[in-house]
Chain A
Amino acid sequence: MQCVNCSFENLPGAPSCARCGSMLQLSEMCVEPPRASKGRVATRVRQVWYPLRDGLGRVRVSRRKLTLLLPEPVSRSALVWSIIPGLGQLKTSRRGLGWCLLCTWLILLLLTLVSLGTGWHFFFRNLVVMTHAVAIVSLFAASLSYYGLIVRALFGLLVFVGLSLLLYRPVGWACSRAYVLLPVPRIGANDVVSPGDVLLYQGPWARPESFRRGDLVTYRIDHQQTSGYYIRAGFGLDRVVAVAGDHVQLAEGRLYVNGACPLEGEGPLAALPPLDELELDVGPGDCLILPTCLDVTLFAGHAGNQRVHQQLIRSVSVVAEDDILGFVVFRLRPLKRFGSVR
C-alpha cells in the first residue's frame, strides 16, 4: 500500500503510513465536511474563548517579573516604585524620562497645593493624576505597542481612573480628616482674618480633646429663628474666650473673664457686640466664643433692641466642645499672608 502523502510502500492492511503517519484507509474516510448550526455557536464561543485563554495564560506573577495580560513582561519593582511617578523609570534606567516625570509631578503637586481653595485646584489636581498615569503607562509602552489605539487609550483611561479612585481620592480623604480647607467668604472686619482668606483647620483626626482660651477655632452653628433674629446654619470663626468653669462678665462694653480682662490674643477677634450687660458661667463641656465676626440677620425693628441682642449672643456664644470643629492653624491665601495663623 502506497502512502498518498509520501509515496512510501507500507505493508498491506496498515492503518497509517509507517514513515509520515498519514491515514492509508482512504475508502473508509468520510469526505462530507461538518456543517455549523445556524447561529455558528461553536465558532462564536471559540472566538471569545481563545483570546480569553491566551490572556489568562499570560497572568504569571513570578518573583522578579509581573506579566499582566501583556505580551511583554513589566518589572514588578518598577511598578511598585511608580507609586511616585518617575521612580519606576529611574529604576529601569530611563533616567531622562524618570527625572522629567518626577519634576513635572512635583511642580504640579506644588501648584495643586498652592491653588487650594481656588478654581485652578481641580485643574492642577487632574494634571497631577494625569502625569502619574503617563508615568505608569510608559512602563507598559512595549506591551501596549501590540495593541490598537483604542485599547491603548482605554488602558490610559483605566490607569487614570484607577489612580484617581484608588490612590488620590483616599489620600485626599485622609488629608481632609487631618486638616480641612476653610474658605472665608463673609466675615466681620478684624486684624486676623479677612474676607476671601483660605484657612486650614484641624480635622477630626488632629482635633484636640479640649480647647484653651485664645484658640482661634471654627465651630458649627445650627439654624435658629426667634421673634427677633434669624441665624442660618453654618460655621462660625472666632477665638475661645472662656472655657468650662470660667465666669464671664460683660459690663460697660468691657469683657471680664474670672474678673480680669483677657490678655492680648485671648479676646474676641473684633469689637465686642453692643451689649449693656452680660454675665454667665461656662458649664462643663462648653466654651464661650463671642460671635464678633458672625454675620447675623436681625429682623426689621429689632436692630436696636438690647433684649434681642442679649438673647442672640447668649444662644450663639455658648458652644459645646463637640460643636467645635477644630482650631485654625494655617492660612493658604492670600499668598502674601501665607503662613501660620497662630
Chain B
Amino acid sequence: MPGRFANLEFDHRQRHAEQRELESRSQQCTREEAAASLLAQANDAYHWGRFESALRLYTRALKEERTLIPAWVGQVQILVQLDECHEARVWSDKGLELFRNNGELLAAKAQACARLNDAKSASACSDAALAAPGASPWRWIARGEMLLARRQKFAAECFQKAVAEPAADWFDHVVIARIHMHYMRVTNALHYLRQALELEPTHGYIWFEMGNCQRGLGLLPAAAQSYQRCLELRADYVEAERALESLSDGSSLFARLRLIFGRRRRP
C-alpha cells in the first residue's frame, strides 16, 4: 500500500521542479538579455543606415524572443527602406497576426502601403494606428508620409506633431528627412537634418544624410564637407568614404549633372 502520506513526502520532487524553474528562468533571462542586446545592435545599425545588417540583427533578436515588437516594426521599416515595400506589407501583416491592432506595426504597414501607392489601405492603417492605445512619434511620422504621398497639405503638421512627442529623439528627425528625400523634397529634408544635428551633433550619420541632401541640391562643396565631417566622427564609415570618392570623381560637367539629376539614387 503506497501509504496515505506518500503524497506529502515530495521534497526531492519539489527541489527538482524548483531547479527546473530556476534554470528555465535563467535561460529566459539570458534569452531576453541576448534579444535586448541584439535589438540594441540592430537599432545601432539602423541608425547608421546599414539596413541589411540591421535586418539580420532584428531577425536574430526575434529568434531569441518572438514577442519583441520593436524588432517586428524594425524589420518592416527596414524592408521599406530597402525598397521592398510589397514584402514589408506582407511582413507587417504577419506581425499583425501576432500583435493584433498594434499601433507601431499598423503605422509601419501604413508606410509600406503609402510607398506602394495604395492610398486607401495606407489611410486605413494610419487611422487604426492612431486609434490604437499608446502614442509614439513613429505613428505620426507614418501618418505624415501617408499624407505626403497623397500630396496633402497637412503632412508637415503631422511631422511637427511627431517631433513634438515626448519620446521623439534625433533619429525621428532623420527618419522624417529620409521620407522627404524619398519624395524629392530635399530642402525640407535638410531642415529636419539641421534639427537633428542640434539634438545630436556628434552622430556621423546625420552628417552623412546631410551630405546626401546637399548633393541632391547640387551643393557639391558643402556635401563634401558634410561627408568629411562624418568621417571625422567615424573614420571607418565606408559609405561616407564612397560618397566622397564619387563626389571627387564627379568633377566633370556630365558627372555633376548626373549627380544633380540622379539624386534618387543613394550612395
Contacts and interface: CB of A to CB of B under 8 A. Distances in A.
Interface stretch (A42-50, A93-101, A235-243): A42-50
B79 interface: yes
B86 A4 contact: no
Interface stretch (B116-124, B222-230, B258-266): B116-124
Given A31-B66, A43-B83, A4 B117 contact: no
B24 interface: no
Contact of A47 (B91, B100, B116): B116
Nearest to A20: B100
Contacts, number: 81
Interface string B63-83: 100110000000100010011
A35 B66 contact: no
Nearest to A47: B117
Contacts of A43: 83-87, 115-116
B87 A42 contact: yes
Contacts of B120: 54
A50 B118 contact: yes
B100 A40 contact: no
Given A31-B59, A42-B86, A50-B117, A5 B151 contact: no
A54 B119 CA distance: 8
B39 to A, nearest CB: 13
Given A5-B100, A43-B85, A43-B86, A26 B117 contact: no
Interface string A40-69: 101100111011001000000000000000
A36 B84 contact: yes
B83 A40 contact: yes
The binding surface of chain A is classed by DSSP as loop
Contacts of B79: 33
A234 interface: no
A22 interface: yes
A54 B63 CA distance: 39
Contacts of A48: 117
B151 A50 contact: no
Interface residues of A, number: 29
B101 interface: yes
A29 interface: yes
A5 B117 contact: no
B62 interface: yes
B98 A5 contact: yes
Most buried by B among A4, A33, A47, A148: A33
Interface in A5-29: 5-6, 17, 20-23, 26-27, 29
A252 interface: no
A40 B83 CA distance: 8
Contacts of A42: 86-87
Contact of B98 (A23, A33, A46, A146): A23
B17 interface: no
Contact of B62 (A6, A17, A31, A51): A31
A165 B120 CA distance: 36
A72 to B, nearest CB: 14
A36 to B, nearest CB: 4
A29 B96 CA distance: 12
Given A31-B62, A47-B117, A50-B117, A40 B84 contact: yes
Contacts of A35: 84, 87
Given A33-B75, A36-B82, A36-B84, 4 more contacts: A29-B66, A34-B90, A42-B87, A46-B85
20 contacts: A5-B98, A20-B101, A22-B100, A26-B98, A27-B66, A29-B66, A31-B59, A33-B87, A35-B84, A35-B87, A36-B84, A36-B86, A36-B87, A42-B87, A43-B87, A43-B116, A47-B85, A47-B117, A54-B120, A146-B151
6 residue pairs, one from A and one from B, having the closest CB atoms:
A31-B62, A36-B84, A42-B86, A50-B118, A4-B67, A43-B86
